[in-house]
Amino acid sequence: MLVPIYQIDAFASRRFSGNPAAVMLLERFADDATLQAIAAENNLAETAFLVPDGEDYHLRWFTPTVEVPLCGHATLASAAVVMERLAPHRRSVVFHSASGPLSVERRGTGYIMNFPARVSRPVEPPPLLAEALGQDPVEVMADAFNYLALLETADQVRSLRPALAAVAALDRSGLIVTAPGDGGYDFTSRYFAPAKGIPEDPVTGGAHCALTPYWAQRLHKTTFRAFQASRRGGELVCRLVGDRVELEGSCVFYLEGTAAI
């Protein structure tokens, strides 16, 4: 069976930056093993699978090794496919997912996603964290998905070379590292998830669902310019709206074609 496939640089205003995602349009979801094999074949941080349901879509996300409950950049890429290729007249779309309904609105040349906030709480640093970071963080937080480690400066975040084996051995699936921003950004971050088959994710929507309420509490504001300091780099505008987070970014199409599955 031939199915449409798109590869898109999300949270990017130019090609070869941001976070690449594959988006595949299906009539119905294949079995989990097939979806996982496709994502492994695509070998990107995330592959998004879309199934139409009236005006809405059902959406699932797979890394090369596991299915995940939420993925920001692949949701952004999926919205671009819907509103730039499948139905260019549309200004919004709702995706039904394991994290509930996710709405995306087209605004100017970009998109605004509405996701549930992830509130993290202070914890004692797990024994492997200092080994993973090669230093002691200023503060450690955790939610159900990730640890969040605060460093003193954006330069420390940019120069970090974590021990990925130690990160993979943590009792959370990922590690967010953050610090106050520089160069006009409110905060800087990086995200590591080797346990999910992603040594470092270039730009991570899910991490910003935790970073936004965290920095809202520290900076006493609700709107932020954020930079994820991976090698590719990515820019986001983040807003805390009650118990939801709005993430705003742009997409650039890289590849369009068909896949045989």
pLDDT of residue 22: 98
Kindly state the average pLDDT of the residues 188-215: 97
Q: Is the dihedral of CA 254, 57, 96, 47 positive or negative?
A: negative
Amino acid letter, residue 186:
D
Residue of 27, 46, 131, 235 marked active site: 46
pLDDT of residue 120: 97
Which three-class secondary structure state does DSSP give residue 210?
A: helix
Distance CA 167, CA 1 (A): 39
CA 157 to mean position of chain CA atoms: 18
pLDDT of residue 142: 98
- Rounded to two decimals, the pTM is 0.93
Q: What is the pLDDT of residues 47-84, one digit of tens each?
A: 999 999 999 999 999 999 999 999 999 999 999 999 99
């230093």: which residue's tokens?
A: 135
**Within 10 A of 199 (CB to CB), how many other CB atoms are there?**
13
Round to the nearest angstrom and report the end-to-end CA distance of the chain.
5
Q: Does the active-site annotation cover 46?
A: yes
199: confidence class by pLDDT, cuts 50, 70, 90: very high
Q: What is the pLDDT of residues 75-128, one digit of tens each?
A: 999 999 999 999 999 999 999 999 999 999 999 989 999 999 999 999 999 999
- Mean residue pLDDT of the chain comes to 97
